[in-house]
Chains A and B, each alone.
Chain A
Amino acid sequence: MKPARFDYVRPRSVEDALARLASEPGAKLIAGGQSLGPMLNLRLARPSLLVDIGGLPELFQADAGADESFVGAGITHAMIEDRMVADGSAGFMPHVARTIAYRAVRNRGTIGGSIAHADPAADWLLALTALGADVIVARSTGERRIALPQFVIAAFTPALGESEMVLGFTFPSLSAGARFGHAKLARKLGKFADAAAAVIVDRPRGVCRIALGRPEGQPVLLPGLADQVAADGQPSPQDIAAALASALPELDAFERRILSGALGRALAQALMP
């Protein structure tokens, strides 16, 4: 379980990194290495060149503006957990960060790597979906902005060109009075979720979003249920079941149970008086 041979470079800037990517067809970015490392060892990934962007200062920017927030791709789960970067999510992102993997993984794993890896079960994918985030993608000719749901084309398939990289994420800032709920059902601490739910209720901003995550398939938003919650508060079990059935009709009974269970917990947290 050792990687096949590869070359390794540490570019000094995003520009440099993009140039490296463009110059070598088999090149691949590595950030925290927490997803790519195992894939290299299992020889499931066989890049000819690793372009190490861990530690690139440009990727550590964060901003919590009144309207819009930004999180740089190179920021680690642990930095978010420890509130070392500006947080426009009213504490939601630090809360989610704490539920990702183990501390050793969080020390290295980055939010950009997590989204670029496009594992449907990734916790950031759910959280950023619930925040209504866009992905900022850099290429040699400039930057583009793409809504997160469009960014993940399929499991492990991001909408990234050969010589593009993720710079970071923007999302509408939450107000200080925003409430959130987050539940992750996993068989053990540090595992990816079997079912997860995130609920954001920001009454001052008129925002209510509900997202569900699961191992197969991208997170889904439940806008109808969210409207109902915004209007009436706690929905009934029947309403939850109906929203689930219409959003994810293909679920089996077990999946329905754990997703509605996770959602029930997240709603209870968000709507706690």
Chain B
Amino acid sequence: MNAEAKTGQGIGARVLRKEDARHLHGRGRFIADMKMAGLKEVAFLRSPVAHGLIRAVGKPAGAEGEVFTRADLARVKPIRSTIQLPTFNGSDQHPLACGKVRFVGEPVAMCVASGRAEAEDLAEQVTLDIDPLPAVVDARAARDDGAGPFLHDEWGSHLVLTTALDTGIDEVARTAPVKVTRSYHMARQVMNPLEGKAVLAYWDDLKGQLVVYTSTQVPHMIRTAIAEHLGLDQREVRVVAPDVGGGFGYKCVLQAEELCLAWLALTFRAPFRWTEDRREHLTSGANCREHVYEVTAYADTQGRLLGIDADITVDAGAYSVWPFTACLEGTMAARQLPGPYAFRAYRARTWTVATNKPSIVPYRGVARTGICFAMELTLDAVARAVGREPWQVRRENLIAAEAMPFTSPGGAVYDIGNYAGSLDMALGEIDVGAVRRRQAARQAGEPLVGVGFANFIEMTAHGTRAFALAGLPFVPGAEPAAVRLTPDGGLEVRVGVQSHGQGMETSLAQIAHEVLGIDVARIAVVHGDTELTPFSTGTYASRSITMAGGAVAEACDQLARRLAKAAAHLLQCAPEQVELSAGLFRGPSGDIAVSEVARIWYLKPELLTPQMSLESLEVTGMFRPKTDTGQYSYGTHGVVVAIDPATATLAIEDYVIVEDCGTRVNPLIVEGQTYGGAAQGIGTALLEEMPFDGAGQPLASTLADYLMPGAAEMPPIRLRHLEIPSPNTRFGIKGVGEGGAIPPPAAIFNAVNDALASAGVEVSATPLTPRRLFAAIAAWEAAQPGATPPVPAPRERAP
């Protein structure tokens, strides 16, 4: 039943986000906003070199008690994130560098002072004696290089992990009439949530607890990690995530700085805070995305895919992040690369390579932005090779709706979906024929227009088995939610996931409202505090609305059943005779509001049977989807671009998104997630890049050099929905958090390649900088009939 019709607050209602009021009024409470008597600030001295042996770290005279190195933190265990795969090489990441530094920005010493500026003054005085080693910067080259020096000497190799799967590519390779080979490069990126990382830790004598406020997506995991790494009982650790200004995956892993701050508070029984600044964020924190693909597609003469052979190299940086390890990217890429396409022969080999760069962290869309890029650009190349429309070839290769559930050659099981329906909807929005006519009628001096499409799938609410198979330190189980009716008929909902921009304080309240009919304004969603919420692995991988949403519904159902008994008693009928709707229990001879039942249960128990008050109105519900293999959202992005050769600039003329995330709990929030994701994807396509020089120095240390998309860079996006409810979840919900960020680079590059197709010119490396675009334009121009050979320039630079 849809509650919107009744109250406009339940599932499907465009309820304004409750959390926005405090943010819009500047009254949010982020860690940097907190005040506390005696609070000291921390600055880290970070390695200035990418690779080297630490000879000495010298504390400034007189400040020995304010500067700390690895030796001081003896009780803190190194972070060792492992995965049970035979080729995996594990590494120890020390909270402060130990013996060796492995990337520019690796914390070496921790400096404490009354303010951050003073702490930075101290850090400047610390002396650092490092013997530099050659830096490993190019993962693709290091992959085939058996020679050291290696980041982790004990490995005797650069490889964190290699995997291989092959469902029989050789056969297809021998016989396929069409073979297309391409290479692709996804640039290293930085996530840049508005709020960087921040940690404030203190000792609470009242409870005998180490309290760690940290800007995290996964408070319970961090609590477990801190307890384990500091040798504490978990009851001695409380982790709180107050307002968190975005995460995107950066905040779903344990960070060395979290352990450092926890150690300070535990050791000195006083409050300490570290607030990551943007330079730290850019140069030492949230690195992600860097993959190299070498893909060969085999097809028939119509472009029907017969097989895909993909070599995938992941530039993993220095260490394996806890708990997801550096392997998540490579394993996910191999498993998910086939995407929504129905071919059978598949070989995927992956190399996860350690480099002297910050550790790779799973970023919104984890690996799938890269594989979508590789797969969708390859499909367009196949279409051009067989001389057909890319959309047509794309459509014919899609898995049919009737074939669901479908096990992909990568081993993923797709639950439900109408992939061709999604593409058709996008085709209905973008007039490909009109683009073709403009291309044919183009006059010299006019822009080059092109149209591109990309299909994607988004694995949401991953199940237990997928994680257990990977042997990760943390495997999500069923998801809990605890609900508590208050004596005035309001509701508290406690969840172990964390909301940091997803609007769950609203959407989870809508789900509770859907079941109980309590006004959304009277439902408080409590999250982000290990003391107040049930254990959960937290918010990541587009899981929260499906998992926690299901659990809230489950808990509310149980609560409703208990209330129904009391209501039936009060209405003098049998429990089966009462029906709950819009917050009212209706019986054969009258009705009673949920709030009245609550009041009586808590304050007038004499009106109920003694048995009834033994059933608490505080209920924990558990949820897991019917299938454990993930709930797949999917969709299509379609783009029209116009390239101006005169200025080497690109304009996005039209951008259409079609997606199916099942039942939309709050369409407004879904749209926000999609637009935000698409903005990040457009950033991936056109702007964002963290370059390194040959010595491993990061070359973008401020936002003047690392370009983020802003409002002005966003094209108007037309968003359309297919809404095919999942048969496996409560209300048919699927996740939607990551999808928007997956296909934009693929769709935009396909459109650019379409614009340049007449000359067979293709772009294949993100981001499409003006220099890279110009190189493609110049190649296109050189191929035009009557083109004069380009005037040789006195000085050419690499793009």
- Smallest Cβ distance from A50 to chain B, in angstroms? 14
B614 at the interface (CB under 8 A from A): no
Q: A5-B117, A261-B644, A261-B646 are in contact. Are A253 and B712 (CB under 8 A)?
A: no
Q: A1-B279, A185-B649, A261-B644 are in contact. Are A38 and B702 (CB under 8 A)?
A: yes
- Smallest Cβ distance from A43 to chain B, in angstroms? 8
Q: Which of A2, A42, A254, A262 contacts B117 (CB 8 A)?
A: A2
What residues on A are CB-neighbors of B610 within 8 Å? none
Q: Give Cα distance in the complex from A251 to B774, angstroms.
A: 14
B709 at the interface (CB under 8 A from A): yes
Enumerate A80-116 residues with CB–CB distance to B below 8 Å: none
Q: A188-B712, A254-B797 are in contact. Are A264 and B646 (CB under 8 A)?
A: yes
The reply to whether A187 and B687 contact each other, CB–CB distance below 8 Å, is: yes
Q: A187-B707, A256-B793 are in contact. Are A2 and B648 (CB under 8 A)?
A: no
Of the listed stretches A16-24, A124-132, A189-197, name the one at the interface; the rest are far from the partner chain. A189-197
Enumerate B99-132 residues with CB–CB distance to A below 8 Å: 115-117, 120-121, 124
Digit string of B41-63 for contact with A (CB within 8 Å is 1, else 0)? 00000000000000000000000
A4 at the interface (CB under 8 A from B): yes
What residues on A are CB-neighbors of B770 within 8 Å? 185, 187, 194, 254, 258
- Smallest Cβ distance from B789 to chain A, in angstroms? 12
Q: Which residue of A lies closest to B277 (CB)?
A: A1
What residues on B are CB-neighbors of A256 within 8 Å? 793
Chain A residues bordering chain B, tally (CB within 8 A): 31
The reply to whether A252 and B797 contact each other, CB–CB distance below 8 Å, is: yes
What residues on A are CB-neighbors of B115 within 8 Å? 2
The reply to whether A250 and B795 contact each other, CB–CB distance below 8 Å, is: yes
Most chain A beta-carbon neighbours within 10 Å: one of B280, B644, B713, B774 = B774
What residues on A are CB-neighbors of B794 within 8 Å? 249-250, 252
Q: Give Cα distance in the complex from A42 to B644, angstroms.
A: 37
The reply to whether B647 and A254 contact each other, CB–CB distance below 8 Å, is: no
Q: Which residue of A lies closest to B649 (CB)?
A: A185
Q: Which of B121, B277, B647, B774 contacts A265 (CB 8 A)?
A: B647
Digit string of A127-142 for contact with B (CB within 8 Å is 1, else 0)? 0000000000000000
The reply to whether B795 and A252 contact each other, CB–CB distance below 8 Å, is: yes
Enumerate B679-726 residues with CB–CB distance to A below 8 Å: 687, 702, 704, 707, 709-710, 712-713
A3 at the interface (CB under 8 A from B): yes
- Smallest Cβ distance from A120 to chain B, in angstroms? 15
The reply to whether B796 and A188 contact each other, CB–CB distance below 8 Å, is: no
Enumerate B598-612 residues with CB–CB distance to A below 8 Å: none
What residues on A are CB-neighbors of B644 within 8 Å? 261
- Smallest Cβ distance from B783 to chain A, in angstroms? 16
- Smallest Cβ distance from B208 to chain A, in angstroms? 34
The reply to whether A5 and B121 contact each other, CB–CB distance below 8 Å, is: yes
The reply to whether B702 and A257 contact each other, CB–CB distance below 8 Å, is: no
The reply to whether B793 and A188 contact each other, CB–CB distance below 8 Å, is: no
The reply to whether A42 and B793 contact each other, CB–CB distance below 8 Å, is: no
Q: Give Cα distance in the complex from A38 to B116, angstroms.
A: 16
Q: Give Cα distance in the complex from A266 to B117, angstroms.
A: 46
B278 at the interface (CB under 8 A from A): yes
Interface size class of B (residues with CB under 8 A): 35 or more
Q: Give Cα distance in the complex from A185 to B774, angstroms.
A: 14
B65 at the interface (CB under 8 A from A): no
Q: Which residue of B lies closest to A249 (CB)?
A: B794
Q: A2-B117, A252-B796 are in contact. Are A191 and B707 (CB under 8 A)?
A: yes
- Smallest Cβ distance from B439 to chain A, in angstroms? 21
The reply to whether B771 and A254 contact each other, CB–CB distance below 8 Å, is: yes
B790 at the interface (CB under 8 A from A): yes
The reply to whether A190 and B710 contact each other, CB–CB distance below 8 Å, is: yes
The reply to whether A254 and B278 contact each other, CB–CB distance below 8 Å, is: no
What residues on A are CB-neighbors of B85 within 8 Å? none
B778 at the interface (CB under 8 A from A): yes
- Smallest Cβ distance from A117 to chain B, in angstroms? 13
- Smallest Cβ distance from B542 to chain A, in angstroms? 28
- Smallest Cβ distance from B356 to chain A, in angstroms? 23
Q: Give Cα distance in the complex from A258 to B773, angstroms.
A: 12
Q: Give Cα distance in the complex from A42 to B771, angstroms.
A: 29
Q: Which residue of B lies closest to A259 (CB)?
A: B647
Q: Give Cα distance in the complex from A198 to B704, angstroms.
A: 24
Q: Which residue of B lies closest to A185 (CB)?
A: B647
What residues on A are CB-neighbors of B647 within 8 Å? 185, 195, 257-258, 261-262, 264-265
The reply to whether B278 and A1 contact each other, CB–CB distance below 8 Å, is: yes
Q: Give Cα distance in the complex from A2 to B275, angstroms.
A: 12
The reply to whether A252 and B687 contact each other, CB–CB distance below 8 Å, is: no
Q: Give Cα distance in the complex from A42 to B795, angstroms.
A: 33
Q: Give Cα distance in the complex from A4 to B707, angstroms.
A: 27
User: 14 additional contacts, CB 8 Å, given A43-B120, A187-B769, A254-B648?
Assistant: A1-B280, A2-B120, A4-B121, A188-B707, A191-B704, A194-B770, A195-B647, A249-B794, A250-B795, A253-B796, A256-B793, A257-B646, A257-B777, A265-B647
Residues of chain B at the chain A interface (Cβ within 8 Å)? 115-117, 120-121, 124, 277-280, 644, 646-649, 687, 702, 704, 707, 709-710, 712-713, 769-771, 774-775, 777-778, 790-791, 793-797
Residues of chain A at the chain B interface (Cβ within 8 Å)? 1-5, 38, 42-43, 185, 187-192, 194-195, 249-254, 256-258, 260-262, 264-265
Query: Can you list 29 residue pairs at the A/B interface with Cβ under 8 Å?
Result: A1-B120, A1-B279, A4-B117, A38-B702, A43-B120, A43-B124, A185-B647, A185-B770, A187-B769, A187-B770, A189-B712, A192-B704, A250-B795, A252-B793, A253-B774, A253-B790, A253-B791, A253-B796, A254-B648, A254-B771, A254-B774, A257-B646, A257-B648, A257-B777, A257-B778, A258-B647, A261-B644, A261-B647, A265-B647
